[in-house]
Amino acid sequence: MFKKLLLTTAFSLALLPVAGTANAADLGGDCCADLEERVATLEATTARKGNRKVSLTVSGWVSQAILVWDDGEESDAYIVSDTTDLSNNISFAGSAKINSDWSAGYHINVFFDNASALFVDQTNDDASNGITVERANLWIKSESLGKVTIGQQSATGDNVAILADFSGTLFPANNVIFDGAFMFLRPKGGTGLASGRFANLAFCNSVSFGIGSDCNGFRTNAIRYDSPTLAGFSVSASWGEDDKYEGAIKYGNKWQDYQVSAAVGYGITHGEGTAGQGVASRSEFLQIGAMVKHLPSNLWIYGSWDTEDTDSANFSDGTQLYLKAGWSPKLNSLGTTHFWFEYGKIEDRHGNYASGANTCAAFDGTGANLDGACASAADATVNVTGSEITRLGAGIQQQIDAASMQIYAKWRMMEAEVDFNDAGVAGSEEFEELHMFMAGGVIFF
C-alpha cells in the first residue's frame, strides 16, 4: 500500500508543470539549456561517435589461419595470423565538415599479430611483430583541389601496384611474400638448414626494406598529396623523412563489358640503409600494376612488374614479375566465390649477401655445392652473381556477405637458387622446394 502511494504521488508531481498554463508551452529557458549541456557532456565523453563536430569510426578485421608446410625434409602445422598490413587490425578515423568544399580528419591505425605467417620458421612457430602503430596522421581535403595528409602514413609508392588488384583476393594472394618468407633455405644435396631464408633473396635493396615488390611498404612520417579523380585518373605525390620522394598515377574505369585498373609509381630514396641490409646511398624504384575483368563472364587477370636501381656497389638491382588470373562467379547465396592461379619470379634481390663471408654464412649448407666452395677457398673469393625465387599458387575463397567475412584455402610453392663465383669458377646452389597449404578466414568489423 505504501509503495502504491509513493508511485501515485510521484506521478502527480510529474504532471504539475504541464497543468499550469504559464508553463504549458515553455520549452526553452534554463530547462533546455541545461539539457543541451548534459547531452554535450555525454557526447564528449563517449568513444562511440566522437564529439559533436568531429566523428569517430572504429573499424578493422581479425585474420587467422592454419599453415601446413613441408620443406623437403621437415613438415609441421602452425596457427598463424597474416602479417603487417593484413594482420589483425583496428582503425580509428573521423572527419568534420568545414564548409561545402572543405573537410578535415584524422586516421590512427594499429595492427597486432600473435604468430605471423611472415616471420614463423622451422624453429619458431610464435614469431610475430607484436603491436605496431601503422598510421597516425591528420588531413585536410578540398573536393575540388585534393587532399593533403601529414604524419605517419603510407607514402605514395606504398602498395600502388598492389592496389590495382580489385579482384577481392588480396588477403590470400598478392605479390608480396606475406607467408613463408622467413622459412630457412634447405640446400639440395646437403644436410641441415642454411642460416639464410627465402627473405634474404627477396628483400628490396633500397632503404625501405620491403619484401618482394613492397619496396616502399613501411609506414613513414611524410607529407602526401592526393588529387581528385578526373576521367578515371588521379595523381599522388609525397615527401618523407630521410629524403624519400615518390609519385604515382592511378586509373580506374569501366569500358563496356570490362572493368579496368592500372597504376604506376616511381620513387627516389636517399640516406642510410636499414640495419642488417647495408647502406644504399640512393635507390630508385619503379612499379607497374594493372587488372582487367570481363564483367559478363567474371574472368579476370592481374599483373605487376617492378625494378629497383641502387648506386651502392654492395647491392644488386632486382626485379619482380607477378601474375594472377581467376574466375569470380556467384555460385551460392553466401556471396562471390573466387578461384585463382598465381605465378611470381623475383630475381637478383639478394641485397648485401652478394660477397665474401656474408655469402657463405647465409647460403652455405653442409655437403652442398656452396659448402665446397666456402671450404676450399677464402671467404673473400666467393661471390653471389645472381639469385632467383620462383613461386606458384592456387586457391579458392568464399565471401560470406551476411557476416562481412572471407574464408579461403590455398596452396603455394616457392623454390630458390643462388648463382655464385668462386675465384673465377662459376657454380650454383639450388634449394629444396617449400610447399605451404593455408586455410583460414578474415572477419571485418
Q: Domain residues of the chain, as ranges? A: 54-444
Our CA dihedral for 148, 49, 168, 262, rounded to 10 degrees, sits at -10
The rounded distance, in Å, linking the Cα atoms of 429 and 192 is 14
Apex 277 CA angle, 273 and 280, nearest 5? 40
Residue 369's pLDDT is: 74
In the numeric block, the cell 634474404 is attached to: 200
The rounded distance, in Å, linking the Cα atoms of 7 and 14 is 11
Asked if 136 and 111 count as a contact pair (C-beta separation under 8 A), the reply is no
Residue 87's pLDDT is: 86
DSSP secondary structure code for residue 215 in this structure: T
The pTM of this model reads 0.84
Q: How many CB atoms lie within 10 A of CB 35?
A: 10
Each of the 445 residues of the chain gets a pLDDT tens digit; together they read 444 444 444 434 343 443 343 333 343 445 455 555 555 555 555 555 667 789 999 999 999 999 999 999 999 999 998 877 788 999 999 999 999 999 999 999 999 888 999 899 999 999 887 888 889 999 999 999 999 999 999 888 888 999 999 999 999 999 888 889 999 999 888 788 888 889 888 877 654 456 777 776 668 899 999 999 999 999 999 998 777 889 999 999 999 999 999 999 998 887 554 444 444 467 888 999 999 999 999 999 999 999 988 776 656 678 999 999 999 999 999 999 999 999 999 998 876 665 555 677 677 666 567 777 777 655 567 778 889 999 999 999 999 999 999 999 999 999 999 888 877 778 888 999 999 999 999 999 9
Asked if 232 and 258 count as a contact pair (C-beta separation under 8 A), the reply is no
From the number of C-beta atoms within 10 Å of its C-beta (0-12, 13-18, 19+), residue 333 rates as exposed
The hierarchical CATH code for the domain 54-444 is: 2.40.160.10
Q: Which helix (H) or strand (E) holds 39?
A: helix 29-45
Q: Facing residues of 176 across strands?
A: none
Would you give the distance in Å from CA 154 to the centre of its chain? 10
Residue 4's pLDDT is: 45
Question: At 52, which amino acid appears?
Answer: R
Tell me the residue ranges of DSSP E strands in 311-371: 319-327, 337-347
Asked if 154 and 107 count as a contact pair (C-beta separation under 8 A), the reply is no
Q: Which three cell numbers stand for residue 331?
A: 555460385
Asked if 74 and 122 count as a contact pair (C-beta separation under 8 A), the reply is yes
